Structure 1
Amino acid sequence: MQKPIRFLATLTLSVGLALPLSAQEEPGLDTVVATVNGKDITLGHMIVARAGLPEQYQQLPDEVLFKGILDQLVQQTALADTFEGDLPPRVTLSLDNETRSLTAAEAIENVMSTPIEEADIQAAYDAEYAGRDLGDEYNASHILVETEEEAQAIKAELDEGADFAEMAREKSTGPSGPGGGSLGWFGKGMMVPTFEAAVVELEPGAISDPVQTQFGWHVIKLNETRKTEAPALDTVRDELELQIRQTRVQQEIDRVTAEADVDRSAADGMDPSVIKNIEWLE
């Protein structure tokens, strides 16, 4: 299959300034910026072309993009006029798919943009958080050293009554050392697995045997535990709204598909490998 010509490959070399529009009115989507063999190229065509560019191109200066995109559209229009005969299936089918995809996306956008009532947000919040056990949180401190021997020696001193915070300030190589080894509050999944497993097994006030992680050897003290509280509604509002919108979209997709007159019988028994016949598109 022929690969499409990529006109923007040399876009960064275009440094000429764009000419001002000659129209006296405020520019809009229908404002004509050029004509090629009598065919209009509008500002709307340029805006759509820019919106579809990769991010690195969109960062280019406006004057470079304006000239580069206009050059591209002029060249494409001139080349298209030279084409004779019927378009190959790869083009007509691609246009069908693109039209279908863009139109479906607009239908989805209509659903996504439907206003959400506060009651719906509250209901989603209650379903997500009300009455659920969100697990425990832990407040722990640790002393981090390089070797197991060092960790064993520290554990022995702590068992004999040494102050944990003082030992952390004196011995720990971790960034929490100057703060007495305090790690503050954290929930499950926030620490590496071996460290977390050791913390979960401790009772408040207890000190662990040496625990190895990729950072070194830890001696851990569990200070307190508490039940994880549900976040305030406003802190998760955006997340809940997105969840509601996505649910609505899926429900709409399911509804319209179920109500559509769909007949897939022609595909029954067909060899799935036929979709690899790219040569048919020529």
Structure 2
Amino acid sequence: MSKKLHLALVAGALVLSAAAPAAFAADSDVVAKVGSQKITEGELKAAESEIGPQFKNLPDERRKLAVLSALIDIKALAQKAEKANLQKDPDVAAQIAFERDRALHNAYFAKNGVAEISDKDLKALYDKEVAALQPRQEVHARHILVKTKEEAEKVIDELNKGADFQEVAKKESTGPSGPQGGDLGFFSQGQMVPAFEKAALALKPGEYTKEPVETQFGWHVIKVEEKRDAQPPSFDQVKDQLRQVAMRNKYMEMVQNARKDLNVEYVDPAVKKQVEDLESGMTDATGGKAGDDTAAPAAN
């Protein structure tokens, strides 16, 4: 084995040892033994879901062997640690307990949270979000961009005499949209620099600015072709984001119910006071309200 590959496997082993364990597959075929311990096909698959991406550039079989090598390293040192009774060390015991709880936490959320979220739930969330959107107008505009106010005034004079806006844009505009007749397509509030946006939104379809509009890019003459109500993104476009929102909502519901059922108690008076302050509406260290940044964990 090359030194470079061995270092990569060691790094993989370290990451695996720090990650929350995934549920093992049912397959119990033994693929390797490390002393008295066995590595099953199911355990290997679970480990591959954790650290496989680190070896994504390797062919499938090589990636599987890399994960297997990492597991062997872990089990070899773990057995040495047990013989040295490190599991009895308070810090190690606490870490083992934490890893166990995290694995169970993730498995419970995956089975009772993630798996329960259906496309019907996501569509209902989408409809709710769309219904709450404030009406927003889009503008289809063209512009002619020149360097000076005097040049812009000459352009407006040409337009006042009946010149075609698109043809003037192709001839005079220094902006990248010039060859397309100054066409900027549709845009809505917040997408353009303020001065340009204000002037465009004030125009009616078919109108152009009678005075030059200055921005950091130069001087503009703007024409509005069309206005319409902005359409929300389609369900398929935002389905993945909706799933993340649904997972977060489901997670919050589950942990709140679990906390209520188990009657959480803060034994340390100082910690209890801090929690009470946060729950009463005081801001946390980042300036947000308590719980603002709580997010559902990835289901491992």
Cα distance between partner residues in 1 of 2:238 and 2:72: 48
CA RMSD of aligned residues (A): 3.4
Cα distance between partner residues in 1 of 2:139 and 2:204: 11
What is the SS of the residue equivalent to 1:169?
Answer: helix
Q: Deviations over 1:48-102 (max 9, x none)?
A: 3322227342232223323333333323323333331333334322222222222
* Stretches of structure 1 lacking an aligned partner (at least 5 in a row): 1-6, 13-26, 273-282
* Stretches of structure 2 lacking an aligned partner (at least 5 in a row): 11-24, 275-300
Residues 56 and 190 of structure 1: CA distance in aligned 2, closer, same or farther (over 3 Å): farther
2:277 pairs with 1:262: no
What is the SS of the residue equivalent to 1:153?
Answer: helix
From 23, 37, 40, the counterpart of 2:38: 40
> What is the letter of the counterpart of residue 165 of structure 1?
Q
Q: Deviations over 1:133-155 (max 9, x none)?
A: 42111111111334555434323
Cα distance between partner residues in 1 of 2:78 and 2:126: 54
How high is the sequence identity, in percent, across the aligned residues?
35
Cα distance between partner residues in 2 of 1:211 and 1:162: 19
Q: Name the residue aligned to 1:107.
A: 108
Stretches of 4+ moved more than 6 A in 1? none
Cα distance between partner residues in 1 of 2:207 and 2:163: 13
> What is the letter of the counterpart of residue 206 of structure 1?
E
Give matches, 1:201-280, under 5 Å: 201-208=202-209, 209-213=211-215, 215-230=217-232, 240=242, 243-264=245-266, 266-269=267-270
Q: Name the residue aligned to 2:137.
A: 136
The answer to whether the Cα contact below 8 Å between 2:169 and 2:181 also exists between their aligned partners in 1 is yes
The answer to whether the Cα contact below 8 Å between 2:144 and 2:182 also exists between their aligned partners in 1 is yes
> What is the letter of the counterpart of residue 175 of structure 2?
G
Q: Shift of the alpha carbon at 1:176?
A: 2.6
Cα distance between partner residues in 2 of 1:117 and 1:71: 39
What is the SS of the residue equivalent to 1:207?
Answer: coil
Residues 269 and 60 of structure 1: CA distance in aligned 2, closer, same or farther (over 3 Å): same
Q: Name the residue aligned to 2:289.
A: none
The answer to whether the Cα contact below 8 Å between 1:50 and 1:58 also exists between their aligned partners in 2 is no
2:79 pairs with 1:77: no
Q: Name the residue aligned to 1:63.
A: 61
Q: Name the residue aligned to 1:153.
A: 154
Residues 91 and 173 of structure 1: CA distance in aligned 2, closer, same or farther (over 3 Å): farther
Residues 197 and 77 of structure 1: CA distance in aligned 2, closer, same or farther (over 3 Å): same
Cα distance between partner residues in 2 of 1:143 and 1:56: 51
Q: Deviations over 1:18-74 (max 9, x none)?
A: xxxxxxxxx973211111222112223322332222734223222332333333332
> What is the letter of the counterpart of residue 256 of structure 1?
A
The answer to whether the Cα contact below 8 Å between 1:134 and 1:229 also exists between their aligned partners in 2 is no
Q: Shift of the alpha carbon at 1:122?
A: 5.9
Q: Shift of the alpha carbon at 1:177?
A: 2.1
The answer to whether the Cα contact below 8 Å between 1:8 and 1:72 also exists between their aligned partners in 2 is no
User: What TM-score, normalized by structure 2, do the two folds share?
Assistant: 0.68
Residues 257 and 28 of structure 1: CA distance in aligned 2, closer, same or farther (over 3 Å): closer
Aligned residue pairs total 250
